[in-house]
Amino acid sequence: MKPIPKNDSRYFTETSKDPYIRHRYKVVDSSGKCVIIDNWEDTQMMWWNTPAQFLSHIEILDNQKLE
């Protein structure tokens, strides 16, 4: 199967220019303490800038809409 060429009308790179804020992220350290972060970029930055021996995992949390 061939990929869709970029000049094909079915090809797209994004569905919306609006910010995509669907999830929050819980970074859990090796002692069980956690930090909740609102965006993936900051979550990645925290994960990559923390020594591995202090990290446990990341949980993805659904962003609840306030009514």
Residue 66 confidence class, pLDDT cut points 50, 70, 90: very low
- Taking only the tens place, the pLDDT of each residue in 1-34 is 888 888 988 887 777 777 667 789 999 999 999 9
Please report which helix (H) or strand (E) contains residue 43, including its range.
Answer: helix 40-48
Close Cβ partners of 66 (under 8 Å, ≥ 6 residues apart): none
- Taking only the tens place, the pLDDT of each residue in 30-58 is 999 999 999 889 999 999 999 999 999 99
Within a domain: 5: no
Within a domain: 10: no
DSSP 17-29: SS----EEEEEEE
Within a domain: 11: no
* 62, β-bridge pairs: 23
Number of domains the chain contains: 1
Q: Which domain holds residue 42?
A: 23-62
Q: How high is the pLDDT of residue 65?
A: 59
pTM summary value: 0.64
Within a domain: 16: no
